[in-house]
Amino acid sequence: MDFPYEDYLQMGEDRTSYRLLTKDYVSTVEVEGRRFLKVDPEGLRLLAETAMADVSFKLRSAHLEKVRSILDDPEASDNDRFVAYNMLENAVVAAQGQLPTCQDTGTAIVFAKKGEQVLTFADDARFLSEGIWNTYNKRNLRYSQMVARSMLDETNSKCNLPAQIDLLSIPGDEYKFMFVAKGGGSANKTYLFQETPAVLTEKNLEAFLTAKMKSLGTAACPPYHLAVVVGGTSAETNLKLVKLASCGYLDGLPVSGNGSGRVFRDLEWEKRLLEIARKSGIGAQFGGKYFVHDVRVLRCSRHSASCPIGIGVSCSADRNIKAKITAEGIFLEQMEENPARLLPDASAVNIKPPVEIDIDRPMAEVCAELSKYPVKTRLSLTGTMIVARDLAHKTVAELLAAGKPMPEYFMMHPV
């Protein structure tokens, strides 16, 4: 019997549109008849800094075109259209480079494949981290990373480090990257389910995936790019593939399996789950068709006693950008530079006006007014509102646990 090796992830042709960042920092050298690519590690720093800046303020054209298509769909709900129009407006503002696409500027993630004929003579993760550090310090980006001093004591790192940096070795003389700014909201919608082979029937799998998909809800800013991975050599491999698939990184995989156990996309199940999502009625925000933009379903090999199933999303801040270093230079994925081309005039978009609610009234009156409308109703709130996030919630919880009252204004105004 011949040794039956095949690459587990057969990526296919890379059809990404790249722009040249620089021809500096790269050169080639011949060693024993083989060409090696030498990369000055300063090139890694520049690449990471530029990539994280681009992905924080710009989105992919393909993603924004999907958002625009919602406005052109007569089946889209009023809420779908409202969300889509606001997302395009947001993209136009963010592309100016001052206010980022999302206030949650995310965990910086680098997934890289380094050819074994690529020489840097450095700690690559250190230079990539420095580039990320530069971006978060120079640009108007929030610091989101909490570092642990002990099990219960945390503090903000005040530079958005550490980053997650995964470096793999592959054959060849190219260095390939994907940079991600992963917000907490969409990351929190990543789930692993340790199922049994009994789930692998058409009826059972559809019922299982439908229920789990609906449970995602709208908290992570749909429409989503939804990823589902069935199987995997381990739980951690399953979830890694979920993340990569949600970023569009695995779109070039084969569309059928074989005896070697290669990972493949199941286009039939992608179409099926997309239709289920469209008919769920959840929509972009509590009522509509556009709960998801698209679905990626991967099928993997598995241990005979295990059937891990992972589900995750990339949200409307779909912040993923590919890059590569070759003998020709350092290249970065071309993001949309002019999202305004996709934004129609507001008068051309059929969106109903919201219900006006004055919240500068006694809370009982406000609650009575709100109870007249279903959850999906779009409101315009006028008045005093308290903005309080996780740390404020923790402080209030500590006050109550100590037998002390929360601040009076928390009882008088919406939070």
Reduced to 3 states (helix: H, G, I; strand: E, B; else coil), residue 321 is strand
Tell whether the torsion through CA atoms of 168, 173, 20 and 124 is positive or negative: positive
Residues composing the chain = 415
- The residues facing 228 across adjacent strands are 297, 311
The single residue listed with the structure tokens 């308290």 is 386
Helix (H) or strand (E) holding 59: none
Read off the tokens for 353: 């006006």
- Tell me how far apart the alpha carbons of residues 261 and 6 are, in angstroms, rounded to a whole number: 8
Given this model, what pLDDT does residue 172 score? 96
What does R_g of the chain's alpha carbons equal in angstroms? Answer: 24
Residue pair 232/300 in contact by the 8 Å Cβ criterion: yes
Nearest residue to 213 (alpha-carbon basis) of 201, 224, 197, 221: 224
- Measuring CA to CA, how many Å separate 202 from each of 206, 207, 262, 309, 401? 6, 9, 21, 15, 49
Task: Check residue 403 and report its DSSP letter.
Answer: T
State both tokens at 34: 């083989």
Q: What is the pLDDT of residues 69-117, one digit of tens each?
A: 999 999 999 999 999 999 999 999 999 999 999 999 999 999 999 999 9
Spans of the chain below 70 pLDDT:
none
Q: Kindly report the backbone phi and psi dihedral angles of residue 340, in degrees, each rounded to the nearest multiple of 5, phi listed first.
A: -60, -25
pLDDT of residue 411: 84
Distance (Å, rounded) from C-alpha 100 to C-alpha 114?
Answer: 30
Q: What is the pLDDT, as a whole number, of residue 82?
A: 94
Residue 134 token pair: 């530069």
